A and B are shown apart, each in its own frame.
Chain A
């Protein structure tokens, strides 16, 4: 009976994992890993982050000016635009964090990152999460585990900021004259920028780890993967 239970569990696990497995996607990921555009990828990400930040800040400043001019409906509408920019940017960051988690398992060794710290953040929840992660960081030995902890904290941070942004926008809609929700939204945007900065650092570490593989070795490995198993 034990063997039947064990073999059933094993079979379900195997069928689930291999049933969902997509060879074409895996090959594409390896193609990216072995042909990482390195500097271009980092620069492109940096520009995208700057653009997202500039758009969100411009929308927020316009909304603040409208509020100061007692045009509350306009202020709320523009504040929601700022929130939607942050939400889109957050979805992009979360997708990239997931991909970075996958790629981090595909490289042989990853460049070490410093311990997560609460210093760059302003929100209480985010500071608490970063402090806790800093503590956990000390107990982890491998650079890969520490890298994944970073990704976890960054993902959590993005979710905390977005949730805070939504709450602030709702509170601002309920009481347009109160300053506090606007202040909280502004702090959330600062935290989002700080998260972006850490996101870029993690991305740079990953790209550096990918590019550490010798070009000739990369080509040979690719031939082995795509050529040999075709």
Chain B
């Protein structure tokens, strides 16, 4: 691992710790438990790789770590959709259909059109997983606006942070595929910097004060 990569990894660690403290302190964790689980998972991955690189800066660990992150990203998208639409049966029905269609489509793309997942074919399967997670978030966002469903600022911030990061991630994998393994280190550094930026954005969103809600209908009744 290069010095730059280690430096960025340590900075990300600190930012992740601050973010974890922020979501617990501000009571944001209950708004998306999958995200609350995603943060310690990324922190653990970061700690293991940066403190014990000889054991964990390896291809098998990268695949394991990435599979965990991917599962949690899809879980975040599904949980956000569930939390946002659960109070609105009409919108929830449509959201359920759209999300099911996206899941079926992604499963077909991953199961039948993608070669087996391994470190050497990372650019074949990883972008598809990331794109599937991103489109789950996009479908939720579009339905939120279509049905005018209220979304908490923190849930909005999660989506607004995760989506651009996933695009950067897919773009970097595309770059890796074109340039080959010789460019792994700079591409990895760019990916880590992008993640640090997202974590800093989430920190800002987690620590700032919540928007006050208007008075309920009972007040005007």
- Give A residues with C-beta under 8 Å from B: 1, 3-4, 6-8, 10-11, 13-15, 17-21, 23-24, 26-31, 34-35, 102, 105-109, 218-219, 221-230
With A1-B174, A4-B174 as given contacts, are A224 and B127 in contact (CB-CB < 8 Å)?
no
Asked if B150 and A26 make an inter-chain contact with CB atoms under 8 angstroms apart, the answer reads yes
Can you report 23 residue pairs joining A to B where beta carbons are below 8 Å apart?
A3-B170, A3-B174, A4-B174, A7-B130, A7-B134, A10-B135, A10-B137, A10-B167, A13-B142, A17-B144, A18-B141, A20-B145, A28-B214, A105-B148, A106-B148, A222-B217, A226-B216, A227-B213, A228-B87, A229-B31, A229-B150, A229-B213, A230-B212
Q: Which of B125-154 contact A (CB under 8 A)?
A: 127-128, 130-131, 134-135, 137-138, 141-142, 144-153
Asked if B213 and A27 make an inter-chain contact with CB atoms under 8 angstroms apart, the answer reads yes
A29 vs B217: C-alpha distance when bound (angstroms): 11
Asked if A225 and B150 make an inter-chain contact with CB atoms under 8 angstroms apart, the answer reads yes
Least CB distance from A195 to B in Å reads 26
* B75: interface (CB < 8 Å): no
Q: Which residue of A lies closest to B136 (CB)?
A: A10
Asked if B170 and A17 make an inter-chain contact with CB atoms under 8 angstroms apart, the answer reads no
How big is the B interface, by class? 35 or more
A11 vs B142: C-alpha distance when bound (angstroms): 11
* B180: interface (CB < 8 Å): no
Asked if B150 and A10 make an inter-chain contact with CB atoms under 8 angstroms apart, the answer reads no
Least CB distance from A161 to B in Å reads 29
Question: C-beta contact mask, B163-203 vs A, less than 8 Å → 1, else 0?
Answer: 11011001100100000000000000000000000000000
Interchain CB contact (< 8 A) of B138 among A13, A19, A23: A13
In the complex, given contacts A4-B174, A102-B148, what are 20 additional A-B residue pairs having Cβ atoms less than 8 angstroms apart? A3-B131, A4-B127, A6-B135, A7-B134, A10-B138, A11-B138, A11-B163, A18-B160, A20-B145, A21-B141, A23-B156, A24-B214, A31-B216, A35-B217, A106-B147, A106-B148, A108-B90, A219-B216, A229-B152, A230-B210
Number of A-B contacts (CB under 8 A): 134
Asked if A4 and B170 make an inter-chain contact with CB atoms under 8 angstroms apart, the answer reads yes
Asked if A10 and B148 make an inter-chain contact with CB atoms under 8 angstroms apart, the answer reads no
Least CB distance from B27 to A in Å reads 10
A26 vs B144: C-alpha distance when bound (angstroms): 10
A6 vs B137: C-alpha distance when bound (angstroms): 13
Asked if A15 and B174 make an inter-chain contact with CB atoms under 8 angstroms apart, the answer reads no
Contacts of A13 in B (CB 8 A): 138, 141-142
Asked if B171 and A14 make an inter-chain contact with CB atoms under 8 angstroms apart, the answer reads no
